[in-house]
Amino acid sequence: MAGIREQKKAETRKAITESAVQLFTEKGFEKTSIEDIAREAGIGKATVYTYFSTKDEIFMSFCDEEMADSFARLQSPDRAGVKLLDQLLEFFMIKFTFITRDNEFGRQLLRDMVFPKDINEKAKEHDQRYFDILEELFRSAQQRGEISDQEDLFLLSVHFFSLYLGVLAGWYTGYVSTLEEVEDKMRVLFLQTLEGVAI
């Protein structure tokens, strides 16, 4: 019985996120209300609030679920020997291609990442998941001797994430226009950081 109940919850949660994504695409994030999402999903507004407190939470949940499999593959044991630069490029290209597949989604997610309306625990948990993955990539690189074991892993993660945001902003302002350019720019920026620019 408990299994059926959990399955029903999962189905309801999925219906909410899928309905929300459809409406965000059709109407835009700002013009979509929780009531709209509930109506589209065929459930009551109160039911939506049982699963999510805000539209932002729905949006972040969708992003996490969509990218979970890709990031799981990135962390699989058979990837342990891949060079740090290639792992970083793969990590950030997964995020980039997901975010930019729809301009409205991308702009909304960029706003949420850089200029959130409110600081809440859910948003922090969302961000922390990505930093955890990055820190693990750096930790493995330290163990392989690719980078110094004296580096602060959190600060390294923040630094590379900032470089990624710069390229992402370049995409939305027209400075880069193809995925090949995006990967090339990130490769150069990441290499400069990993190798250092001092002479």
Name the pLDDT band for 183 (thresholds 50, 70, 90): very high
Structural domains of the chain, ranges and CATH numbers in brackets: 1-52 (1.10.10.60), 54-195 (1.10.357.10)
Report the alpha-carbon distance of residue 188 to residue 190 in Å, rounded: 6
CA-based nearest residue to 104, from 175, 19, 25, 50: 25
What are 104's two structure tokens?
A: 């409205």
Average pLDDT over residues 129-145: 89
Q: According to DSSP H, which parts of the chain are helical?
A: 2-27, 34-41, 45-51, 55-74, 84-99, 103-114, 121-144, 153-172, 179-195
**What is the pLDDT, as a whole number, of residue 26?**
84
Report the alpha-carbon distance of residue 166 to residue 178 in Å, rounded: 15
User: What integer best gives the mean pLDDT of the chain?
Assistant: 85
Range in 12-16, 101-105, 119-123, 150-154 with the lowest mean pLDDT: 119-123
CA-based nearest residue to 162, from 62, 92, 87: 92
